[in-house]
Amino acid sequence: MGNSSENQKTEKQGKERVTFSGNIGYVLAVAGSAVGLGNIWRFPYLAAKYGGGMFLLVYLILMLTFGYALIVAETSLGRMSGKSPLGAFRRFTRKKSIRVGGWFNAIIPMLIVPYYCVIGGWVTKYLFEYLRGSSSALAKEGYFNGFVSNSVSAEFWFLVFAVAVFVVILAGVENGVEKVSKIMMPILIVLAVIIAVYSVTRPGAIEGVKYLLIPNMDNFSIMTVVAAMGQMFYSLSIAMGILYTYGSYLKKDIDVEKSTSQLELFDTAIALLAGLMIIPAVFAFSGGTPENLQAGPSLMFITIPKVFDSMGAGNIVGFIFFLMVLFAALTSAISLMETGVSTLMDELGGSRWKNSILMFLIMVVLGSASALGFGVWDFVKIFGMSILDFFDFLTNSIMMPIAALFTCILVVYVVGFKNIAKEVKQSSAFRRQKLFEIMIKYIVPVCLLIILISSVANVLGWIEL
């Protein structure tokens, strides 16, 4: 790329780069895109599958150490460079081998958004069914599997959701959706609290509460760590360039450490709430058999309708609940797609229109594969996983650790701790500087490598985890 176009781009970005008004504004903006299906759909099924309390404990430890260090690193690198990941890596280094890291960060959202839209489609379908008054049908055993194995309807609902995201991007009304979502989010939280209280007070549910909150060493395996780490990246939108971009919008006087802690607290609280809504219900309504706990991506869609149906007013509660989830999912999907579009625009040039269409095509192709993977293509198993599970695994357990490794490399070998510290200290004291340095220099890279190698070896069948 020529120098002049690079400069033009910088100038344009410089002009357009708005900043957040304060700590709370920043935290809310990041939380708005961070809170999504990851918290409500993904966290509960992973916690159920990978050891309940043990998973939660590992998740919390990773978040407060790994997560904290990586968020601070990405945000400061973004604020320092005023750029999204590709631009930031390019700005800091000439070495091609390190610049690749920018690509890892930039491609991940493009691989996530297609299958994210498949789940968004499931949410839309359930919303539609509650609107039609199908609460008791949804609560029946086998309903969900019947739905996803019907390729036509799975594909149809995926397209409904994906087109909605596409239209919002084209119309440029993200802000409108964001505003609606800011109203919806508090309602979702209140509703989730009510549902969680109802759920944990059902007969037999207390076993589920214990399972979720009390760590049991018997449930520990390396896969617990692999899954918890992937979930932490996913839920906090780490290791995919998003926080570089948000950081580039961040004013110099905003306390990076404090907003990191607030973001983590908020995101985890919502995930826990969703866990309390769903996991005790598995015990109360389906019996907490290992088989039920292993349900995976379908867990929310199987247990939640049973809870609602038993409440009496299943259709109303179901409708309100899935409407809120739909908004949470929409805002996240929009910002994922937006990230993809702006990467394409920066790299390929061309209009927003053209690149939005290109991104949409990528979504349709990869998303359809994921949607059909439970129907006509259910014979396709990649390393034993369905197509959707495979994309989830590829991004969360393989690519994000690599992207995070590159961020560590950038900090340690190129930018240097001194410069990061200077950046953080522009706005506040760097209270956990020692922890930050030890994490980024030694612990994070070593653990990332161990986790990466063991998850690959596990998938290839070399080791049994």
State the residues that interact with ligand TRP by CB under 6 A: 33-34, 36-39, 109, 112, 234-235, 237, 240, 242, 332, 335-336
The span from the CA of 248 to the CA of 19, in Å, is 8
The span from the CA of 284 to the CA of 54, in Å, is 21
Beta-bridge mates of residue 172? none
The span from the CA of 296 to the CA of 305, in Å, is 16
**Integer CA distances (angstroms), 186 to 273, 286, 325, 326, in order:** 13, 30, 12, 14
Q: Minimum Å distance from CB 184 to ligand TRP?
A: 15
**Integer CA distances (angstroms), 388 to 122, 229, 369, 378, in order:** 13, 19, 8, 11
Q: Minimum Å distance from CB 179 to ligand TRP?
A: 17
Sign of CA dihedral 323, 329, 330, 332: positive
Q: Minimum Å distance from CB 336 to ligand TRP?
A: 5
CB nearer to ligand TRP: give 37 or 363: 37
The span from the CA of 283 to the CA of 293, in Å, is 9
Q: Minimum Å distance from CB 351 to ligand TRP?
A: 23
For 165-215, list the strands marked E by DSSP. none
Q: Is the distance from CB of 407 to CB of 92 less than 8 angstroms?
A: no
Supply 207's token pair.
Answer: 């076993």
Which residue's C-beta sits nearest to ligand TRP? 38
Supply 127's token pair.
Answer: 């919303």
CB nearer to ligand TRP: give 209 or 277: 277
CB nearer to ligand TRP: give 36 or 78: 36
Q: Minimum Å distance from CB 185 to ligand TRP?
A: 13
Supply 378's token pair.
Answer: 């259910």
CB nearer to ligand TRP: give 42 or 49: 42
Q: Minimum Å distance from CB 78 to ligand TRP?
A: 14
CB nearer to ligand TRP: give 135 or 335: 335
CB nearer to ligand TRP: give 39 or 134: 39
Residue with tokens 């609107």: 131
CB nearer to ligand TRP: give 399 or 415: 399
Q: Minimum Å distance from CB 312 to ligand TRP?
A: 30
